[in-house]
Amino acid sequence: MHLRKYLHLAKSQVSPADPAEAAKPHVRGVVLIAFSQAAMSLGLDWEAIAAQSGLPPETYLDTGVSVPGDAALRAINLVAALSGREDIGIRAALASKAVIGSFLVAPLRIALRAQPTLGAGIRFLAKHIALQDPGQVHEVHEVGQLLVWKRRFTRPELNRNPHLMTVLQAASVLFLRDILGADWRPHLTCFSRTAPEDIGPFQAFFGKVEFGCEGDSLVLDRADANLSLPHANPEVLKTIEEFVTARGRPDQSDPLEDLQDVVLRLLIEGDCSLQRLAAEQGVDPRTIHRRLKAHGTTFSDLLDRARRSLVESQMGRADQPLSELAAIVGFSSVSTFSRWFHDAYGMTASEYRRLGASATDQERAKALMDRAIDVVLGVDRAGRVRFCNQAVQRLGFDAGRLIGANLRDLVHPDAVISIQSLLRIGQGAEPSNAAAHLGLQVRRADGTYQAFGCHTAPIFDREGRLRELLIVLRQQPETCPAHVDGSRH
């Protein structure tokens, strides 16, 4: 429920309330923070630049606020002109990364990392980019062994600004590097802007670049897109889908629930205080205090519940250090967090994590594999058996004896062509439905054959190459005993 509310709030905070104002181009405050940090790192007077550009002082202090596009573009262009750097967008992305981290709002960051693969995460982001910025449109296409991630603004004047598009492309690369490694670069980065006089900084950051393209995009290798994400979470994805389905419905939550969700969002953003909550609501802190008192609660109660909610959603991650969890819920030290945790739960965080720890995916898979009645074989690209479960004993084989055997020798001669079709996936070909779900006559240890339904599941490495093909053999209602040479009894 909370994640759905975050997404609602994340969307509402970047949308101008006035319809006339909404018709004008807008830029998110996070972009202005990026250029302000770049300007100051180069010794420029950002406050003077903001004033000269017509930016209200408070608009560029909030990552989620919508900034009028004309004033934002004037400020961006002024920073570029005063710095004399055509790569100012890259510098802005790097500077903001050091100060605020990712450009993405917290709900989208959580949702993206909950996807099963990086490619699925990018597609999700493209589909729901309006939750981040209603003025952007993203598209994702697969072209051969590549994934093309396109982006554009709905307003042409924003698309034409080279520094704005550069900072967004660079911010996306930095986010992907958090997943793929600090040295990662796209297969290709396309810019609609004209080529700068010195493309060296662009090549150093992005790798291969092209300018004067029809649009702005990042091109990823399929191997990178196929990368399995370590924190995939079906429950988070379910919550997101529920939100997407219900976001057009009227919000029927009560005022106290709304305040609770704002506190939760502020805690995620790292700036949760009574003063900030009051500012979000457009009132003074005393008014917030009176409203909460009327409901029999306090700001401290809201903050405590928000911390509990975050802790309980994060404690399942055994790889997450307690210092990181402490920072997420607003504590500056582990010792302070530990005292709060013990008061809240009556045990230490480590004890809670041990009690609440669930089985790993590997443990679940092994338990299922050991008890499965279906025969499961893992074969390499050459068709050699690298793994089999205990169910092969139903064929009269000892599991250890099958390791290293050729799959072609374990099926009826008439099925060899079907097996070759299955293994074509190792050379990058997609198997047909007939090949992926076929019937096989599988040889038993006594030389007869038994009918099985066959299903497959490929496992790829990071380079997109087949690591292993899992073949699941499910016994058919009828068996067809035959001699090894194929003749019937």
Strands (E), 358-444: 375-379, 385-388, 437-443
Residue 13 tokens read as 């905070």
Which residues, including other chains, have CB under 8 Å from residue 448's CB and lie 6 or more apart? 481, 482, 483
Question: Tell me, what's the pLDDT at 428?
Answer: 47
Q: What is the dihedral of CA 260, 265, 267, 273, to 10 degrees?
A: -60
Provide φ and ψ at 165, rounded to 5°.
-65, -35
Q: Which residue type sits at 204?
A: A
Q: What is the mean pLDDT of residues 446-472?
A: 77
Query: Does the pLDDT value for residue 432 go beyond 70?
Result: no
310 versus 240: which is more confidently predicted? 310
With 0-12 / 13-18 / 19 or more C-beta atoms within 10 angstroms meaning exposed / middle / buried, residue 29 is: buried
Longest dimension (CA), the chain: 94
Tens-place pLDDT, residues 141-167: 888 889 999 999 888 889 899 999 999
What pTM value is reported for the model?
Answer: 0.50
Give the rounded percent of residues in the chain with a pLDDT score beyond 70. Answer: 74
Query: Does the pLDDT value for residue 430 go beyond 80?
Result: no
DSSP state of 395: G
22: closest CA among 72, 56, 68, 76?
68
Tens-place pLDDT, residues 161-194: 999 999 999 999 998 998 888 899 999 999 999 9
Residue 308 tokens read as 């509990």
Question: Tell me, what's the pLDDT at 75?
Answer: 92
- Angle between helix axes 88-100 and 69-83 (nearest 10 degrees) is 110
202/72 Cα distance (integer angstroms) = 23
Tens-place pLDDT, residues 352-361: 777 765 555 5
78 versus 424: which is more confidently predicted? 78
Question: Tell me, what's the pLDDT at 82?
Answer: 94
Question: Tell me, what's the pLDDT at 170?
Answer: 95
Q: Which residue type sits at 205?
A: F
302: closest CA among 331, 272, 270?
272
Query: Does the pLDDT value for residue 252 go beyond 60?
Result: no
Q: What is the mean pLDDT of residues 113-129?
A: 84
Question: Tell me, what's the pLDDT at 22?
Answer: 46
313: closest CA among 298, 294, 329, 299?
329
Query: Does the pLDDT value for residue 362 go beyond 80?
Result: no
Check: CB of residue 407 under 8 Å from CB of residue 385. Answer: yes
